[in-house]
Amino acid sequence: MAHCDPNVLALAALGEPIADAAERSHLAGCVECSDELESLATTVRVARTGQADLVLPPDTVWQGVQATLASEPAPLPIPLPLNRKRSRWLAAVSVAAGLLVIAGSVAIGRTLAQGPTPTTVAVATLTTLPGAPNNASGSASLQQRGSSRTIEVDTVGLADPQGFYEVWLMSPDDSGLVSLGTMSGGQTRASFPVPDGLPLAIYSNVDISDEPIDGNPAHSAVSLLRGQFTV
């Protein structure tokens, strides 16, 4: 999965349990997220005990945060290191907001717990390729929620695979291919997380293939539906 949602880490630093099992197990195994949680928790401890003065980030950081908030949702991903840096500051801002909760503001806590609302930032109409069932069709939408991205796929008429259907992101020139996950025969809707940092400006095509159960993880070259994201 993608790294933990910065808001989830911020709430965890404030002592809230992490409700999502996938996020809990990711956190247990991810050094980067654990480090981030630890640094947020340190901020919370320092603020709660008043052992040290909180240091304000430089003006450029606040300008960056404001610019980021003003430009959300980003239609396309920004490079990974910048993205993580931004997440850290957004998480720091969340912690600062969380400290207001400690001071007694319940409303802000509710907003943080729900996180940002997912926004549809791109859509793709999936059309049949030769060999697909005549009545097949589909669509895909790219949802952005904070820094995490999800692709939701809806299909019609895919009920009888050789083995299973597999959803891919690929570059239009076929030079790059990433598997998102599988769908079974008759399944009409699925949701897949997009790997952190994957540039959708390059991997702009959604492809659904028919995969035999042969243990070979490569694309079978039997594509049934395909479409390109447009913002």
Question: Nearest-CA neighbor of 118 among 146, 93, 91?
Answer: 146
Q: How far is the CB of 208 from Zn ion (least distance, A)?
A: 28
Q: Which residues contact 165 (CB under 8 A, 6 or more apart)?
A: 155, 158, 182, 183, 184, 185, 187, 208, 209, 210, 211, 224
Q: How far is the CB of 23 from Zn ion (least distance, A)?
A: 9
CB 121, min distance to Zn ion, A = 22
Closer residue to Zn ion (CB): 18 or 170: 18
Which of the ranges 25-33, 38-46, 77-85, 122-130 carries the binding residues for Zn ion, by CB under 5 A?
25-33
What SS3 state is found at 20? coil
Q: Which of 13, 14, 33, 158 binds Zn ion (CB under 5 A)?
A: 33
Q: Distance from CA of residue 77 to its chain's centroid?
A: 10
Query: How far apart are alpha carbons 191 and 210 in whole angstroms?
Result: 18
Q: What is the dihedral of CA 65, 70, 76, 81, to 10 degrees?
A: 0
Query: Nearest approach, Cβ of 5 to Zn ion (angstroms)?
Result: 10
Angle between helices 6-13 and 31-49 (to 10 degrees): 40
- Using CB under 5 A, which of 30, 74, 76, 99 touches Zn ion? 30
Minimum CB distance to Zn ion smaller for 148 or for 155: 148
Would you count residue 5 as binding Zn ion (CB under 5 A)?
no
**Could you say whether residue 3 binds Zn ion (CB under 5 A)?**
yes
Give residues in contact with Zn ion (CB under 5 A): 3, 30, 32-33
